[in-house]
Structure 1
């Protein structure tokens, strides 16, 4: 079975945690002893006798406030697919948490309170989805029970959001009228909304085609480990282990080793301990080459006819994750997949307003949760694609040199 990674986003009290709780509860992914504990802790009980929201709000402080203050990851599976859910907070001061949760997501569920309609936070979350190039967007109009399951209210919200999606260039947008509290249109069709002809939300998530989301065009492999057994049986064995980041590799392919820019040919491919003729994106693999070349952890194998950029100076969007401010001239480590190099912030070009996408002059240092466009210079060249072309090789993190804390999430332009 494949895995669908998705994130839920919405304003405070839009029902994100309740929706996730409903998916876990109705898919029978909660153990009996967990259910018993939930029944004792529940204050806002539904017809099932539990408060579904507290399934994800695991911290006591969150329960006391009735909000989500961190990214909570939950896992569940049906007969058709496995799921990893990131429940991100809706507050503007937790933009970094949402970007953290969304960075590996293939789909975003944006919840809209049927009573409130499209609001500022709806637009902000949609802007973040567009910045991160999330391929699939689900708009779940929640709390339909509080507007008497009105088709007119749903259609008005859908029309309003379609304008937002068009402005931001969001594609593959699907709409669902739901009530997470009562379970309408979550796992089964709602009898209260016979006017909605679509499938229930979980059925849609199970059947969503995500194979096209995998980049099989740009062949990228980064060495994580050099295998040299040096035994009598494998005296001359030299294999380069890692994960196929994107694309397809076949035995006999002409490849270029970057950043050294040396050409060679693939002599053998292995995965799962067996020799194979080809390997493709997301597979762990060991690659052997015909020539004896000095290759280290962090080097890239790419097909010679499709080369990425190799630069030590480039532009990037950064979501700032640290309480200490970002300023021009600051030095950090940049972690790009397996490669770790020193970097300096040469220039802060502008800030991005996450509510409007407006470019704002960066007249002062950059604070926590702000998104900025910067120019970085690294001590040695990085091998990368633009984030839009290949988000796996177009993303990186900045690390503080003294504390080793992750301070910035980078999208290379």
Structure 2
């Protein structure tokens, strides 16, 4: 029996608690280039996993208007800004997406100086590859002349969101440019899926990995870029074509459990639930918006069921792969360890929120 809207609301409350309760236990100690400790697990660090987590919370708030969720987000930004922000790179731009949505919802003047400063730095100072793509530099590594699919979610979506909210057309245009440059080098015309990365040094796609979560960033990213608005019609149609090619491949590769594998075309790699949650969100949202084939809705609901089945009593999503660097062979991806993370929680929150929208529509129609 399908979960009701009330069921999903209760699960979402557990997911939020599970995310804010995550703690860095020392299992993964990855010092940053500046000598500071890297924390990609706990909720109290200004990094990309926490940024994705905050985005999930803001999307939930936009639907449910729960003041407790809003307070959780606002209190997080107050703490982290007071503590001092890290040096800008692609991944430390991650928390800006949710901050831009927070500002668009509340117009609280506390947030605008950070948004303006970081948007300008991102456009003017971020190192670029040939053809103007953002080079995927992160806190603990410089990746010269490399494009990664993660970049679009971690940095470009912020520019689109804030540019639309603040009436800054140049930021929206830069976001669109990034999607187009990355699609040129990462979208595989043979499968419709996306490669994890591209290097201009040697001009190749590394292991040619069709990595699950990386593809989920694209499914979510294209849909949300278009939802933010300001995408010219020819570009919108182009990106929807790219998305529909990806969706066609995803429908063929979904496992009987409802999940997808961490290497999408390799059934021997483990089923990975953060990617599954992202795809579930994207497929259900595409169905709601009339995008893609009619099978999207059923596949999205099946993914939702798989996500719910992997949420434990503490509200933590299991079978989530840890942060994944660029692999030079496919075994690298098969060996990524499992670890609960903020981005896993957030993608589950996005998936459950979209599932709740669908359940509410069904219940209203009944």
Please confirm whether the aligned pair reaches a TM-score higher than 0.5, indicating the same fold. Answer: no
Structure having greater relative contact order (Cα 8 Å, sep ≥ 6) = 2
Relative to the length of structure 1, the TM-score reads 0.24
Larger-Rg structure: 1
Relative to the length of structure 2, the TM-score reads 0.26
More helix by share: 2
